[in-house]
Amino acid sequence: MAIKRGYLALFTGFVLGIIVSALISSIYMRTTGSTVIVGKPKRIEIVFLYSSEKQGWLEEVTPEFEKEFYQRFGIMIDVKLVPAGSHESVDMILRGYKPTIWSPASSIWIPYLNEKWKEEHGTLIAKDWVPIVYSPIVIAGWRDFVEKYNIASFMDIYHLVKNGVKIKWGHTDPRLSNSGTMITILEFAEAAGKEPDKLTVKDITNETVLNIVRTIESAAVAYGKSTGFFGAWAVESGPQAITLFGVYENIVIEHSLDAKKRWGEELVAIYPRFGTLYSDHPFVILDADWINEWQRFAALQYLYFLLRADIQMKAQAHGFRPVNPSVPLDTNIFSKRNGVQSEIHVRVFRPPSGKVLDAILSLWEKVKNPGV
């Protein structure tokens, strides 16, 4: 049921996005009567700050949007694509970077940014959002090792490390990247035996829980800056450099064939037996004074474009599951051949409260491998 409820939320967000975009388009056309109006700019630039694992998909389809936008509206548009880690992107905005659109890997960062922004400016900066693709968190590993030790959870990693089995573990730094944050949340949840949204600060500060997470992290050999870059490094470096690593499902799909060719060994996704979290990739047009109405209009057209069925199909080729309910899941992509499952049979959790998330990020210094 958790999967169905989560998908319904994505579907609701999708429909809302289509309605908003259609309304804006309707207002624009009704006001102008044509695509040629006095004062219309010759060129629009919008800056899209997004989580790096979407880079392949966005770089593939954005030139198509720019071409179509000019054909429809007679305006040259330049979509400046800026990849970054999710937490890093929050820090960039707080330090003065001024994107038009922001898309962290998960909506858990929206209240976090809003809270920090409100402390400094007294207003909210991210009021509305729509998911554009989604991907579950998985443990990626090399098939021989995974099958030898029958790894199915974070607690399995804990017991292997505790028993002296040599494991090279890794994920992104939760202070910079969403996947690292989600991996750390799932480690704490399994250690406490509670779903993330039911965790309390008391649960995660329990010394037994801290020791379990600390033991898992003691096997870490790398903490990446962003998921896309980290996943590429792990595959390029191979099984001698890293045994298991926490990433999104799409990273496994995008690199599985390359991993097999490069190392002669398959990369597989482990859907944690205890449960996982979805990364829902929200599309947020920031409510900021540096964004004018033409940029806002262009951003809404871009959102509509990214949710279109043919563009969602292209997202699947990069390992993302579509949020547009009219798009069927491509089981040639989401298959064992690419190291993943088409159906997700584990529980899909809700994220923890903002208070618990803040506490987990603060506790990171106590549980991470200090030598990495």
- The CATH number of whichever domain residue 353 belongs to comes to 3.40.190.10
Distance CA 213, CA 199 (A): 15
Per the domain annotation, does 273 fall within a domain?
Answer: yes
Answer for the pair 277, 179: CB distance below 8 angstroms, yes or no.
Answer: no
Residues of the chain with pLDDT under 70: 1-38
Distance CA 315, CA 189 (A): 30
User: What backbone phi and psi angles, to 5 degrees, belong to 183?
Assistant: -60, -45
- The answer on 221 and 75 residing in a single domain is no
- The answer on 295 and 156 residing in a single domain is no
Answer for the pair 355, 201: CB distance below 8 angstroms, yes or no.
Answer: yes
- The answer on 238 and 160 residing in a single domain is yes
Per the domain annotation, does 16 fall within a domain?
Answer: yes
CA dihedral of residues 338, 54, 63, 16 (deg, nearest 10): 110
User: What backbone phi and psi angles, to 5 degrees, belong to 281?
Assistant: 45, 70
**CA dihedral (232, 235, 238, 241) positive or negative:** positive
- The answer on 233 and 360 residing in a single domain is yes
Residue 6 is given by DSSP the state H
Per the domain annotation, does 331 fall within a domain?
Answer: no
**What integer pLDDT is reported at residue 227 of this predicted model?**
86
- Structural tokens at position 89: 């992107």
- The answer on 173 and 139 residing in a single domain is yes
- The answer on 14 and 59 residing in a single domain is yes
- The answer on 264 and 160 residing in a single domain is yes
Q: How many domains does the chain have?
A: 2
- The answer on 216 and 358 residing in a single domain is yes
Answer for the pair 119, 135: CB distance below 8 angstroms, yes or no.
Answer: no
Answer for the pair 300, 316: CB distance below 8 angstroms, yes or no.
Answer: no
**What integer pLDDT is reported at residue 40 of this predicted model?**
87
- The answer on 215 and 348 residing in a single domain is yes
Distance CA 248, CA 271 (A): 10
**CA dihedral (127, 133, 136, 141) positive or negative:** negative
User: What backbone phi and psi angles, to 5 degrees, belong to 41?
Assistant: -70, 155
Q: Which of 99, 5, 91, 9 is nearest to 45 (CA)?
A: 99
Helix axes 249-263, 227-237, angle to 10 degrees: 20
User: What backbone phi and psi angles, to 5 degrees, belong to 280?
Assistant: -105, 5
Distance CA 129, CA 106 (A): 11
Q: Which residues pair with 220 in a beta bridge?
A: 169
Per the domain annotation, does 254 fall within a domain?
Answer: yes
**What integer pLDDT is reported at residue 17 of this predicted model?**
52
Distance CA 132, CA 283 (A): 6
Q: Which of 343, 310, 276, 312 is nearest to 132 (CA)?
A: 312
Domain span including residue 170: 135-278+336-367
CA dihedral of residues 349, 350, 355, 357 (deg, nearest 10): 50
